[in-house]
């Protein structure tokens, strides 16, 4: 019935963030018209967390080697905004998008739903 999901990242500088996903993360994309790029994401999973305010959502990218990814992205000028946190479910940090937003990235220690 449902065959995909569409994630939206809101930005103060959408063109800069589109260039970041295109040039720095090298995500394949299509032009939906007028330079409006839509990116193919890696396989994804969805988790539902309890919260007081249910009107906010977060984007975390996943990787199998956080240290290697951080080294590669740092060499491309990416600024990480938090030190790596060690949690029972994974290692995580965040980086800044050119448009001002933050994106999380983590190396999961839990089974990945994308492996099903």
Most confident option among 2-16, 21-35, 50-64: 21-35
Query: What is the value of pTM for the model shown?
Result: 0.87
Q: What is the mean pLDDT of residues 8-22?
A: 95
What number is the average pLDDT over the span 61-74?
Answer: 97
Going by C-beta distance under 8 Å and a sequence separation of 6 or more, which residues neighbour residue 112?
45, 62
Which two three-digit tokens encode residue 90?
A: 């994974």
Q: Number of C-alpha atoms within 13 angstroms, CB side, residue 69?
A: 18
Q: Give φ, ψ of 95 to 5 degrees.
A: -130, 160
| Confidence bin at 41 (pLDDT 50/70/90) | very high
For 67, the token pair is: 């240290």
Q: 21: closest CA among 91, 73, 89, 88?
A: 73
The structure tokens 């977060």 sit at: 58
- Say which DSSP state 85 is in: E
pLDDT at 57: 81
Q: Does domain 14-115 have CATH number 3.40.30.10?
A: no
Domain ranges of the chain: 14-115
> What does the pLDDT read at residue 49?
87
Using CB atoms within 10 Å of the CB of residue 102, give its burial: 0 to 12 exposed, 13 to 18 middle, 19+ buried: middle
pLDDT value of position 52: 85
**Quick one: which of 10, 6, 114 has its CA closest to 62?**
114
């Amino acid at each position: 019935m449902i065959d995909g999901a569409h994630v939206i990242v809101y930005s103060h500088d959408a063109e800069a963030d589109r260039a970041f996903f295109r040039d720095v993360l090298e995500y394949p994309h299509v032009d939906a018209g007028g330079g409006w790029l839509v990116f193919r994401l890696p396989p994804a999973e969805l988790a539902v967390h309890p919260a007081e305010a249910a009107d906010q959502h977060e984007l975390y990218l996943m990787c199998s080697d956080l240290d290697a990814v951080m080294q590669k992205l740092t060499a491309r000028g990416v600024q990480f905004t938090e030190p790596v946190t060690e949690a029972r479910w994974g290692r995580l940090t965040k980086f800044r998008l050119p448009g001002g937003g933050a994106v999380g990235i983590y190396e999961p220690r839990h089974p990945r739903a994308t492996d099903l």
